[in-house]
Structure 1
Amino acid sequence: MNRLPSWLRRHLAAVRAVAVLTVLLGLIYPLATTAIAQALFNGKANGSIVRAGGKDVGSAIIGQSFTDADGKAVKKYFQSRPSAAGYDPTSTGAGNLGPEDVVDVLPVPGAEGRQSLLTRVCARSKAVGELEGVSGARPYCTAGGVGAVLKVFPGRAVSVNQACPAAPFVTTYQGLKVECAKPGEDYAAGRTVPVPGGSGTPAVPADAVTASGSGLDPHISLAYAELQAPRVALERGLPLDRVKALIDESTTGRALGFMGEPAVNVLQLNLALDRS
Structure 2
Amino acid sequence: MRLPTWLAQHLAALRALLVFTVLLGLAYPLAMVAVGRVPGLDGKADGSLVSVDGRTVGSSLIGQSFTDADGNPVPRYFQSRPSAAGDGYDPTSTSASNLGPEDIVDTNATNPDDSTQSLLTQVCSRSKAVGELDGVDGRRPYCTPDGVGAVLAVFHRDGLTGPVTRVVSVNQTAPAAPFVSSYQGVPVEPAQPGHDYRAEGGLITPIRGDAPAIPAVPADAVTASASGLDPHISPAYAAIQVNRVARERGADPAAIRRLVSEHTTGRALGFMGAPAVNVLELNLALDQEFPAR
Scaled to the shorter chain, the TM-score interval is over 0.9
Counterpart residue number, 2:172: 162
Counterpart in 2 of 1:274?
287
Deviations 1:31-87 (A, max 9, x none): 012212321622222211111121111111111111111111111110001111121
One-letter amino acid of the structure 2 residue matched with residue 232 of structure 1:
V
Q: TM-score, normalised by structure 2?
A: 0.90
Counterpart amino acid of 1:198?
D
* Partner amino acid, structure 2, of 1:54: G
> Structure 2: which 5+ runs fail to align?
157-164
Worse-superposed segment, 131-140 or 105-114? 105-114
- Is residue 103 of structure 1 aligned with residue 102 of structure 2? no
2:151 to 141, 145, 149: 149
- Structure 2 distance, partners of 1:225, 1:103, is 30
- 1:35 equivalent in structure 2: 34
Contact kept in structure 1, 2:217 and 2:237, CA below 8 Å: yes
- The percentage of aligned residue pairs carrying the same residue is 65
Aligned to 2:245, the other structure's residue is in SS state helix
Q: Bigger shift: 43-52 or 170-179?
A: 43-52
Alignment partners' CA distance in 2, 1:186 and 1:205:
32
- Measure the CA separation in 2 of the matches of 1:81 and 1:241: 23
> Which residue is 2:220 aligned to?
207
Secondary structure, in 3 states, of the residue corresponding to 1:158? strand
2:248 pairs with one of 228, 235, 254? 235
Q: Which residue of 2 aligns with 1:21?
A: 20
The amino acid that maps onto 1:192 is: I
Partner of residue 197, structure 2: 187
Pair 1:245-2:255 in alignment = no
Q: Structure 1 26/187 Cα, relative in aligned 2: closer, same or farther at 3 Å? A: same
252-261 or 63-72, larger mean C-alpha shift: 252-261
Deviates most, 132-141 or 72-81: 132-141
Instruction: Provide the rounded CA distance (Å) in 1 between the counterparts of 2:114 and 2:226.
Output: 25
Unaligned 5+ segments in structure 1 are none
Aligned to 1:139: 141
Report if the CA contact (8 A) 2:108-2:193 is conserved: yes
Give the root-mean-square deviation of aligned CA atoms.
1.4
- Distance in 2 separating the partners of 1:264 and 1:250: 6
How many Å separate the matches in 1 of 2:104 and 2:11? 62
- Partner amino acid for 1:120? Q
Alpha carbons 2:63, 2:80 under 8 Å: kept: yes
Structure 2 CA distance for aligned equivalents of residues 96 and 4 of structure 1: 58
Match of 2:120 in 1: 118
